[in-house]
Structures are given as C-alpha cells and as structure tokens.
C-alpha cells in the first residue's frame, strides 16, 4: 500500500488516498470528536471495497468498482492510522471506533468478518468499538450470519455498533436512492430481533435526510421496536452525486434546529433520537461518510460547502 495523497487537518479529520496496486485505489479517514482529544475519542473509517457497485444517489463512492480488498488490505488502512500516532499499538482512547463505512457496502466482502476477528488481538485498545453500517442487500445472508456470530463472541456489552441505512420510510423513494435489491423492512426487523441482545447497543436506523424524504413514525413502529432501535438523523453530505441528482439536505448543518420537527415526532413515538451533524469543516475536507475525494479530483466539480481543502501529494 502506498499512500500518495492526504487532505484535511489532524485537528479535525484527514482523508488518506492510497494506491493498492493493479490500478486499485482506496481511501480511509481518521477523525476527532471535538471537544475530545485523540486520546479520548478517535474515529477511523476504512474502505471495504475498491469503489462500490451500488451507486447510491447521495454517495460519491459508487462506480469504478474494482473488487474486494483482502482482510490484510483492510487492516493496512487501520495500521497506517494507528501506528502513525501510537507506534506500540496501544490506543488509549476510551472510545476507539472503527467504522467500515468509507468506500463500499461492507456486507459484499466476507473479509470484513476476518478483520473483526483480528482487531481485538491486533491492537491494545480497551475502547475498541467496531461499527458496521449496511443498506442490507439481498443475497448476502452468509455475511450477516457471520456478523451475528462474531459480534456475540467478541464484542458483547455495548462494544459493537450496527446500523441500517434507511434514509426514508417511503419504500419507492428508498429504492431510487439505493438502486439494488435489498431486504424489506420486515426482513431487517427479523434479523434485528436476532442481532440485538439485552446489554447491546441499540441498533441504529440511520437517516441521511434529504429534502422531501418522508419519515413516518407509524411506519417505523410496525417493524422497529424503540426498545431495540434508535434513530440517527444526519444531513445529506455535499457530494458530487447529491448535486447531480438534485438532492439537498433537509437538515442545515449550520442550523441544527432544522431537524427538530422530525426528531420530535420520532421521540413522541418512543425512539431515542440523535441529530448527528459533527464538525461542518469535515464537509470541506470530504471526510464524512458517503464522500469520495478521488471522485472529486477526477471531475473537479464545484460542490457548494464541500471539498474545499487542498489535497497534498505524498512522494
């Protein structure tokens, strides 16, 4: 792996671009959660595919799919960030989250399960908490069975975060946003019933909420018990794909109160609700989930409020 470019700042977030050989490129990210220091809370985001075959309407990682990294190729991304700050492999952060959420739908790559097996032994990190976010594609049941097994064996007691990417309760609209075959809400709920155990973190229903996307609490309550699920609402990140598809964010990252009406309706339905905006500067860096700096570099498309940082070449 050769890291050839980086953008951002260590004080907020950095995106690393790497050449893995054979014309395969990958991105990975490290980010802080101000006001916490790196030694308190630290988030890494790694790629699980080379590109992505899904082509979600809000994500720049779709297209140019070139296959699946091996477990070792995923671990090299993590190693690069960990050993840069902690050469002895001891990560002191009380919350050390590794998100399989940069490029690629993780359930398409069984090597992610191998990585999850190795993480507890590879680093000295008491605060380790993996996070797998999925659109729940059709036809990859073997991955989800394996994920259930590894979570129960290695990550009990709130040490694992599992997220469904929902985005809207309108099934037809969701099919347009995520144009592949997927589990129905009923199938998601059936798996969630098996996945969640008392003492686990609640399963997250993630809504990157675009303007005009319905979020109907009554629809959600048919499938997702508030005792097992929480709701996270985020802005639609400013990406080239979102601009091309005419999708604007419902939640203004500069005005968090724009999410209050939706949040209140869900809270009244019994859900714990998180409005997750993070650092607005991450939009300019391109470090938020669903962004892909290399795509921007290829097209040089103007994106309002996004992709403003200088990309520095590494020789």
Output the domain CATH number for residue 197: 3.20.20.70
> Is it the case that residue 141 has pLDDT exceeding 80?
yes
pLDDT in tens, 50-67: 988 998 888 877 777 889
> Is it the case that residue 282 has pLDDT exceeding 90?
no
C-alpha Rg value of the chain to the nearest Å: 18
pLDDT in tens, 292-306: 555 555 655 554 555
Arithmetic mean of pLDDT, 241-246:
80
Is residue 198 situated within a structural domain?
Answer: yes
Please tell me what DSSP assigns to residue 106: G
Is residue 169 situated within a structural domain?
Answer: yes
Is residue 243 situated within a structural domain?
Answer: yes
Q: What is the pLDDT of residue 199?
A: 94
Instruction: Judge residue 172's burial from the number of C-beta atoms within 10 Å of its C-beta, 0-12 exposed, 13-18 middle, 19 or more buried.
Output: exposed
Is residue 314 situated within a structural domain?
Answer: no
Measure the N-to-C terminal CA separation of the chain; round to a whole number of Å. Answer: 13
> Is it the case that residue 6 has pLDDT exceeding 80?
yes
Arithmetic mean of pLDDT, 172-192:
96
The three-state secondary structure class of 71 is helix
Using a pLDDT cut of 70, give the percent of the chain over it. Answer: 88
Is residue 278 situated within a structural domain?
Answer: yes
Is residue 156 situated within a structural domain?
Answer: yes
Using a pLDDT cut of 90, give the percent of the chain over it. Answer: 62
What is the enclosing helix (H) or strand (E) of 167? none
Is residue 25 situated within a structural domain?
Answer: yes
pLDDT in tens, 85-113: 999 999 999 999 999 988 899 999 999 99
Is the separation of the CB atoms in 109 and 70 below 8 Å? no
pLDDT band at 114 (very low <50, low <70, confident <90, very high): very high
Q: How many CB atoms neighbour CB 34 within 10 A?
A: 12
Is the separation of the CB atoms in 47 and 111 below 8 Å? no
> Is it the case that residue 185 has pLDDT exceeding 70?
yes
Instruction: Judge residue 154's burial from the number of C-beta atoms within 10 Å of its C-beta, 0-12 exposed, 13-18 middle, 19 or more buried.
Output: middle
Q: What distance in Å separates the CA atoms of residue 276 and residue 55, rounded to the nearest whole number?
A: 24
Is residue 199 situated within a structural domain?
Answer: yes
Residue linked to tokens 């005419």 = 246
Residue linked to tokens 């869900």 = 266
The three-state secondary structure class of 241 is helix
Domain limits for position 246: 2-309
Domains in the chain: how many in total?
1
Please tell me what DSSP assigns to residue 86: -
Q: What is the pLDDT of residue 81?
A: 97
Q: What is the pLDDT of residue 26?
A: 86
> Is it the case that residue 253 has pLDDT exceeding 60?
yes
């Amino acid at each position: 792996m050769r890291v050839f470019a980086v953008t951002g700042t260590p004080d907020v977030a950095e995106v690393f671009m790497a050449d893995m050989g054979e014309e395969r490129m990958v991105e990975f990210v490290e980010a802080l959660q101000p006001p916490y220091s790196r030694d308190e809370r630290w988030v890494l985001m790694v790629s699980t595919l080379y590109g992505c075959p899904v082509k979600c309407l809000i994500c720049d990682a779709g297209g140019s799919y070139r296959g699946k990294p091996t477990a070792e190729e995923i671990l090299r991304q993590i190693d690069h960030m960990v050993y840069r700050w902690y050469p002895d492999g001891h990560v002191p952060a009380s919350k050390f989250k590794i998100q399989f959420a940069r490029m690629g739908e993780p359930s398409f790559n069984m090597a992610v399960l191998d990585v999850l097996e190795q993480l507890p032994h590879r680093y000295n990190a008491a605060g380790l908490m993996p996070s797998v976010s999925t659109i729940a594609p059709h036809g990859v049941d073997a991955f989800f069975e394996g994920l259930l097994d590894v979570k129960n064996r290695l990550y009990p007691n709130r040490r694992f975060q599992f997220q469904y990417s929902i985005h809207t309760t309108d099934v037809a609209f969701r099919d347009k946003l995520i144009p592949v075959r997927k589990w129905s809400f009923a199938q998601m709920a059936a798996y969630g019933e098996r996945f969640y155990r008392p003492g686990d973190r609640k399963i997250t229903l993630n809504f990157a909420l675009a303007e005009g996307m319905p979020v109907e609490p009554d629809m959600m309550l048919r499938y997702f018990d508030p005792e097992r699920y929480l709701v996270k609402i985020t802005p639609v990140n400013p990406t080239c794909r979102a601009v091309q598809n005419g999708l604007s964010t419902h939640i203004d990252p500069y005005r968090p109160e724009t999410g209050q009406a939706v949040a209140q309706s869900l809270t009244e339905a019994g859900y714990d609700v998180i409005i997750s905006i993070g650092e607005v500067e991450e939009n300019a860096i391109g470090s938020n989930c669903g962004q892909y700096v290399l795509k921007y570099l290829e097209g040089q498309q103007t994106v309002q409020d996004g992709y403003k940082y200088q990309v520095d070449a590494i020789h």
